[in-house]
Chain A
């Protein structure tokens, strides 16, 4: 369907940024040779960590499940190629903490041999529940952001009926082009995925939002969707962060998602275009989530490009496939320049949510930050209508209650405030600091609640034991007392006998006296 007729809205704030998207889009997506090792962190996404179900020495096939979901917000993990499990242990991962984390390590056997796949020609032979089950079992998580398990967002819920499915192809952050390239090259599969998602959600329509700086992607998707009247492709103005879920919803529908709630509350569900592609692969081809497209970019990368790699491929292998770095010591960033974070080891592997590896000149201006001059530039730029300077103030003072009153958890960490701040205050780091402090405080609170329960339980137990001891003591005492009674009786008998004896004796005496 045509996109020009669609009315568009605008969110408040946002920034026009230099795009740097040209260099990584000149060549098509490339695959790379099988790496020597695949390292698969058990924590691939937001939510509960998966649990390994293989052990060292096991042989696995491509697509075979190697770790099971734990809890609801969790999905399984699959072997990205055939080979041998050579270790399960702690390895460096892409995380700002620089800590190691539990990983399954696979040594590929070079065959890349699939386990048996369940293909399906017509998804409509399945029920929406069955589709969600397949998407969950295939380990699919949101491929654009924090990686929320996708099957949860394919459930229309009981009453809150989902009317609109939005596919997010905005890709607003500089340098990142993996969705752009995917849309150009795999538009058909994305649309096939969108149809499955529409069916699973029982939704009425699908809007696909793509920033107008990607004309090739727009026309490819438009061609693929032309046969379907319920799918509309919309070119949206290029403005950072249009790719934010709530921002894109606003632009496409004019609706605001209320603070602290999910789009589902207003009848909308939003998925990434790459997630739609993964859903197609899982449902129709029977292939779980074992690979993804990653942009390798930045002025320190010799040949920036997009690579299709297996999950678990070390960053080094991707860098090498791009002919290396011009300066070996450049720190790597996972994600884009605005929202990404520094990765401390180039041995860290690609996970399901890794859209970009960036190696660029460090332009951080935070070194010499100055006092806040209350210019309110940050508030003007904030796309969520927050008051960044207040958030900063309370985060810095560790007044986390106040920070939450000022909607700290609505902050999407887009970095707009940070970017415009004339005092160069590292605002986003203050917010991340405050958020993680609050999470850990909540964890501590849960821990101390458990400690209280255990302590009270122990005290009950000690009291019971004390009572039982007292009880036993009493019983013994009573037994003793009873035996004491006996003595008394005997005493009484004795006394009686004595009295009788005495009487007799006195009678005897009397008699003697009389006689």
Chain B
């Protein structure tokens, strides 16, 4: 037990040092406002906001060049959080950018069809696809953000969208259904 605790503590210190070092060594001078905005974006990196990723969109918002309602994967929740942060009124999602997905999705690769061209790997913004040239490829489901950027480049169309796996761990109690009377009292 004690050795376990000590070795864990040792590891914790070691990792702390590595992280600390990395933080200093690789520090990018970053704008705290951009950081705060970026922290609210879903990091799907899909580009639907018309920017090449979440951070560029955050930068554009910080400069006042982009509106708060351009991120479909974030949906209402993200818009409300952005409005809160930037002190503006929430507004509905801009339909030009896309629709809010009801359900979170990931992609899978049909490994029987995959020809190992590596085009999807080059498209994936979070390195969620494993594989080498001329070998079949697999998606690491845990890491996939569901951005679908890997789908268009695939020459044999073997990448499919599937709902993210549901488990007891990420299950949510349903919201109680509201009765008519209850709703009537709302206005």
Q: Which of A's residues lie within 8 Å of B, judged by CB?
A: 43, 93, 95-97, 99, 101, 129, 133, 366, 368-371, 396, 425-426, 429-430, 432-433, 435-437, 440-441, 443-444, 448-452, 454-455, 457-458, 460
Contact = CB atoms under 8 A, between A and B. Distances in A.
Nearest to A341: B173
Please classify the interface of chain A as helix (H, G, I), strand (E, B), loop, or mixed, using the class held by over half of its residues: helix
Give the most central of B26, B38, B128, B167: most A CB within 10 Å. Answer: B167
Interface stretch (B40-48, B92-100, B108-116, B150-158): B40-48
B125 A368 contact: no
A443 B45 contact: no
Contacts of B43: 448-449, 451-452, 455
Contact of B172 (A371, A433, A455): A433
Contacts of B126: 451, 454-455, 458
A308 to B, nearest CB: 27
13 contacts: A93-B168, A129-B1, A371-B182, A396-B175, A425-B182, A426-B176, A433-B172, A444-B42, A448-B44, A448-B145, A451-B45, A452-B38, A452-B43
B146 to A, nearest CB: 10
B168 A97 contact: yes
A90 to B, nearest CB: 10
Nearest to B166: A99
Nearest to A95: B168
Given A99-B167, A448-B42, A452-B54, A436 B143 contact: no
B172 A437 contact: yes
B46 to A, nearest CB: 11
A451 B145 contact: yes
A440 B174 CA distance: 13
B123 to A, nearest CB: 11
Interface string B118-135: 000000011110000000
B170 interface: yes
Contacts of A369: 176, 179, 181-182
Interface of B: 1, 26, 38, 41-45, 53-54, 77, 125-128, 143, 145, 166-176, 178-179, 181-182, 184-185
B125 to A, nearest CB: 5
B36 to A, nearest CB: 13
Given A99-B168, A368-B179, 13 more contacts: A99-B166, A101-B168, A129-B1, A369-B176, A369-B181, A430-B175, A443-B170, A448-B44, A454-B127, A454-B128, A455-B45, A458-B125, A458-B127
A43 to B, nearest CB: 7
A452 B127 CA distance: 11
B180 to A, nearest CB: 10
Contacts of A396: 175, 178
A451 to B, nearest CB: 4
A457 B173 contact: no
A429 B176 contact: yes
A375 to B, nearest CB: 14
Give the most central of A93, A433, A448, A449: most B CB within 10 Å. Answer: A448
A97 B172 CA distance: 8
B11 to A, nearest CB: 14
B168 A440 contact: no
Contact of A370 (B38, B54, B179): B179
Contacts of A460: 26
Given A452-B43, A455-B125, A458-B125, A97 B176 contact: no
A247 to B, nearest CB: 24
Contacts of B174: 429, 433
Nearest to A49: B169
